[in-house]
Structure 1
């Protein structure tokens, strides 16, 4: 009987310690995503000062950092946040991209979505986002001169910006992007 109680107490203690370690690990990962998102925003502001004004006036925005490779088939993925300017809350998000076509490259790319209204932001956070892609080319050195590729592009919920931080991509491809809420970090 004592042995059984000891096992139950031991299992309970192990469970509590594991939950504490998970919470600490989660907090570390959230801080890392927030830091990368903050840096990506600063990169956008350096590339085009008008973006800071657009973000400041918007009901919300989402910013992502992705890393990808392509050689015929391509893929990229990353994490980011969707920020509600009114509530000051962040939702942790994932982004994945896939493509196929005449393409080659590697890149470190930032994406910024500036939402036109609170409903568009809420739909983005709650339902995710799917989009198709077309021809693309971009280059960046990873230094301050990295530039906003193709300027602002309108989408149904607002305006999107793309910044190639480092790498080189060229080609024509068909593909898509998917954004969804990160279940582990929210």
Structure 2
């Protein structure tokens, strides 16, 4: 997929996702909606993979993102989330855009929890924004065995994984996701919610 297609998919998906946070809602109401989504995403993760709670609590911080999108082989999604700094006890609200390519057809409500394994990666994610290419997907197992997640790096470059360490847990509202199309994701601070 070329860069123009990725940009078009992200723009389209961001426009589609706008109703998720209603235009007439106040800043505080929108922040409360994002915090509620994050609490639900963490509860879903802990139910499916109880040992993830210790990882999240002992990490530099975590992020929760929710997106909604439409795909027919090529598609996209847009959404919002927050990143929580465990030491500072501070939330930073962020936006997310995603473009996908692959055998992926349908309308999806997608959530993910990102666990930042060190403070430098957390700060870089918040202050510089972030971009993952298709190689940075995490995987999950179905059933009672829980999930596996991989450490990912910006741009999906494996040589950077030692420096930019994030564990990603993809999920739907009801549980951990099993497989996904290759996706390019971009994250940036929300001007409206911070």
What are the superposed Cα offsets for residues 77-104 of structure 1, whole Å, 9 maximum, x if unpaired? 2111100001100000111101234321
Determine which structure has more spread, i.e. the larger CA radius of gyration.
1
What does residue 25 of structure 1 align with?
26
Instruction: Evaluate the alpha carbon distance shift between residue 30 and residue 146 of structure 1 in structure 2; reply closer, same or farther with a 3 A threshold.
Output: farther
TM-score with structure 2 length normalisation?
0.70
The answer on whether the counterparts of 1:108 and 1:165 sit within 8 Å (CA) in structure 2 is yes
- By percentage of residues, which structure has more strand? 1
Separation in 1, partners of 2:58, 2:138: 29
Separation in 1, partners of 2:102, 2:55: 34
| Deviation (angstroms), 1:131 | 0.9
| Deviation (angstroms), 1:105 | 2.2
- How many matched pairs? 158
What are the superposed Cα offsets for residues 128-159 of structure 1, whole Å, 9 maximum, x if unpaired? 11111268998x9xxxx7996x6211113231
| Deviation (angstroms), 1:173 | 5.2
Separation in 2, partners of 1:177, 1:51: 23
- Unaligned 5+ segments in structure 1 are 1-21
Separation in 1, partners of 2:190, 2:144: 28
Instruction: Work out whether 1:165 is the aligned partner of 2:173.
Output: yes
The RMSD of aligned alpha carbons is 3.1
Separation in 1, partners of 2:66, 2:73: 22
What are the superposed Cα offsets for residues 105-148 of structure 1, whole Å, 9 maximum, x if unpaired? 2222211111111111010001111111268998x9xxxx7996
- Unaligned 5+ segments in structure 2 are 1-22, 153-163
Instruction: Evaluate the alpha carbon distance shift between residue 72 and residue 158 of structure 1 in structure 2; reply closer, same or farther with a 3 A threshold.
Output: closer
Separation in 2, partners of 1:37, 1:62: 8
The answer on whether the counterparts of 1:81 and 1:93 sit within 8 Å (CA) in structure 2 is yes
3-state secondary structure, aligned to 2:192? coil
TM-score with structure 1 length normalisation?
0.73
Separation in 1, partners of 2:179, 2:123: 34
The answer on whether the counterparts of 2:138 and 2:148 sit within 8 Å (CA) in structure 1 is no
